[in-house]
Amino acid sequence: MPLLRIHHKTEYRYARAVAFGEHRAMLRPREGHDLRVFFCELEITPRPARLRWIHDAFGNSVAIASFHDKADRLTFTSSVIVQHNPAPAFTLTADDPAYFYPFLYDSEEYPDLFQFVTPHYADPNGELDAWARTFLDAQAPTPTFSILSRMTHGIRDHLTYRPRYEQGTQHPLDTLQSGSGTCRDYALLMIEALRRLGIAARFVSGYLFVPDDGSGNHAGGGSTHAWVQVYLPSAGWIEFDPTNGIEGTRDLIRVAVARDPVQAIPLHGSYIGGGDAFIDMEVNVDVSLIDEPMAMEAQT
């Protein structure tokens, strides 16, 4: 069960002192049977007048900061230590209801999954729908895992990863037509394609661990990362990272899940001081492997 240290620093710089509106930060990892938070600290400069924590509609931890003081810099520094226990790769047998596609969701689960099955982006000429169906076998039925694996690796192998630091996510058709995008764009493309096949999928924001030995060959390190969760009967929510071709939670640290990327922005807020006051923003993320005694010391 590896222990990982996550250091995430975001700094906003301004030409002069400005006032700050409310800022919302989604930086605390989402705990579960495969992820345990040992230590979590959020430092904000200038010190907020008020800092409160809430759970949003999806159960994500959100820190909400309000400010009185003006400043020419605003810095958020998150320090976290987690125990990460990646779940084994999922397997389905022919007796499982989702082994073959198409399949039906249980009538008791479907009302809760409806928002994750319904497409949210227009596809007027059916391009996205047609692309999604290229991952099906010529003759039905198709093993469901084959669809998910082919799409995950197909996006990684046939699209060009291009980092983009401004906020926002491309329309899935733009990603498909341009053949390029960020991890956020890749995730949304896969989510919308699966939804057009009637498969429940949602957006995940978090962090990527890149092994020091380079064995992972991962793209997307050094910043926040995004991938996909898919819901299958009897298997539950399963992770797929189309940026790196990862199936399961290996090297992925969840922070937030959402129906749409705009609901899982790691950090956002506003300032008052004129449009020309903003200079730039710098984000640094480091995820490293640490020894267990160090983690125990951080708790005390």
**What is the pLDDT averaged over residues 257-281?**
95
pLDDT of 167 over the 80 cut: no
Q: Does residue 186 fall inside a structural domain?
A: yes
What CATH number does residue 179 fall under? 3.10.620.30
pLDDT at 265: 95
pLDDT digits (tens, 9 = 90+) for 211-222: 875 555 677 677
My answer on whether 172 and 197 are in the same domain is yes
Which one of 210, 227, 250 terminates a domain? 250
Classify residue 204: in a domain, yes or no: yes
Which of 250, 274, 291 marks a domain boundary? 250
CA atoms within 13 A on the CB side of 123: 21
Question: 92-96, 204-208, 209-213, 231-235: which range is least confident on average?
Answer: 209-213
Q: Which pLDDT belongs to residue 297?
A: 53
> Domain limits at 109?
100-250
Residue 259 lies in a domain: no
Which of 240, 267, 254 shows the shortest CA–CA distance to 58?
254
Residue 255, domain member (yes or no): no
70 and 180 housed in the same domain:
no
When divided into structural domains, the chain yields a total of 2
Asked, for residue 257, whether it belongs to a domain, the answer is no
Tell whether the model's pLDDT for residue 144 goes beyond 50.
yes
Residues 240 and 278 in one domain: no
Question: Per the domain annotation, does 53 fall within a domain?
Answer: yes
Q: Is 256 inside a domain boundary? A: no
Is the whole-model pTM more than 0.85? yes
For residue 300, is pLDDT > 50?
A: no
CA distance 207 to 252: 6
**Paired tokens of 157:** 């192998």
Shared-domain flag, residues 218 and 281: no
pLDDT in tens, 236-251: 999 999 999 999 988 9
Q: What pLDDT does 166 receive? A: 67
Do residues 278 and 172 both lie within one domain?
no
pLDDT > 90? residue 256: yes
Residue 91 lies in a domain: no
The H or E element spanning position 293 is: helix 292-299
Q: Is residue 295 scored above 50 in pLDDT?
A: no
Tokens in use for 197? 């096949």
Is residue 172 predicted with pLDDT exceeding 80?
yes
Q: Confidence class of residue 14 from pLDDT cuts 50, 70 and 90?
A: very high
In angstroms, the CA 118 to CA 121 distance is 9
Average pLDDT, the chain: 92
Mean pLDDT value across residues 279-293? 87
CA 189/CA 228 separation, integer angstroms: 10
**Domain containing residue 35: CATH number:** 2.60.40.2250
Please state the φ and ψ torsions of residue 128, each to the nearest 5 degrees.
-65, -40
